Amino acid sequence: MSKIYPTQNKYHARGPIPADQSSVLTVWKKSSMAFQGTDGFSVFDKEGKLVFRVDNYSRKNRCLTGALVLMDGAGRALFTLRPQILSMHDQWNGFEGDGGSKIRPRMQSFSMRRRSILQRNDAADIFRGGPGDHVLRPDFRIEGCFWRRNCKIRDGTGEVAAEISRKKVNNTILLSEDVFSLEVQPGFDCKLIMAFVVLMDRIGRKPFAPALCS
């Protein structure tokens, strides 16, 4: 199990994974922090190094008005993810780095929202840039079932940017849904794709329960 759940003190200060290389990551739906009551994501490369993490120190308030922060293995903020208040599409907005302050926020990098307001499913659209940059055609689309760990992220041309699947050990033992594989194709930014994955966990077909966010 050490290859699936590396020891928690393996923090590496390496930069983001190069965008010109294909990457197969192991995503563990568990905070890298060992404190009781925290939750989030820990993401490891094929060598077992922690490359991305999401640590949420409290389950209160953040679901409605708070933000999620995607960090690299050393704890540097890569994207700040904030919910759009009163959005019927469960829209979230992504900002590079720490997101800035309320007085001087950083420029919005992307937004992600459910495709349908009538159906609770995993289909979602992603638009790059801020509100004034949105066009009718999304830059990325989510298809398949994220909650069953069987979905794809396609770009605006239909090319597969990344794929999520159940994690297997030795190609035979199927692990729980809390551990899954994320394969990012060459030419796509791993940190951006991982930001999408974090939000897919928030806006999918499962009921949105602020007091019991996972």
CATH number at residue 147: 2.40.160.200
Q: Specify the pLDDT at position 31.
A: 76
Q: Specify the pLDDT at position 139.
A: 95
- In Å, how far are 50, 60, 79, 152 from 12, measured between CA atoms? 7, 29, 18, 28
**Rounded-to-integer distance, Cα 186 and Cα 19, Å:** 6
* 118 is a domain residue: yes
**Nearest CA among 145, 80, 87, 85 for reference residue 106:** 80
**22-52 pLDDT per residue, tens:** 789 999 988 766 555 557 899 999 999 999 9
Q: Which residues of 81-90 are buried (b: 16+ CB within 10 A; e: fewer)?
A: bbbeeeeebb
* 162 is a domain residue: yes
* 7 is a domain residue: no
**Rounded-to-integer distance, Cα 141 and Cα 139, Å:** 7
Task: Supply the pTM of this predicted model.
Answer: 0.79
Quick one: CA torsion of 173, 179, 184, 190, rounded to 10 degrees? -150
| Residue 71 β-bridge partners | 53, 77
Burial of 163 (0-12, 13-18, 19+ CB in 10 A): middle
* 1 is a domain residue: no
* 17 is a domain residue: no
**Rounded-to-integer distance, Cα 100 and Cα 109, Å:** 13
**Rounded-to-integer distance, Cα 176 and Cα 172, Å:** 13
Spell out where 3-145 has E strands.
23-28, 39-44, 50-56, 68-72, 77-83, 92-96, 108-114, 124-128, 140-145
* 171 is a domain residue: yes
| Phi and psi based region of residue 53 (left: phi greater than 0; alpha: psi -120 to 50; beta: remaining) | beta
105: pLDDT strictly greater than 70: no
* 63 is a domain residue: yes
**Nearest CA among 181, 164, 148 for reference residue 3:** 181
Selected residue with higher pLDDT from 178 and 161? 161
| Residue 94 β-bridge partners | 81, 110
Amino acid of residue 65? T
* 10 is a domain residue: no
Q: What percent of the chain has pLDDT over 70?
A: 71
Domain range for 194 is: 23-206
Q: What percent of the chain has pLDDT over 90?
A: 45
**Number of domains making up the chain:** 1
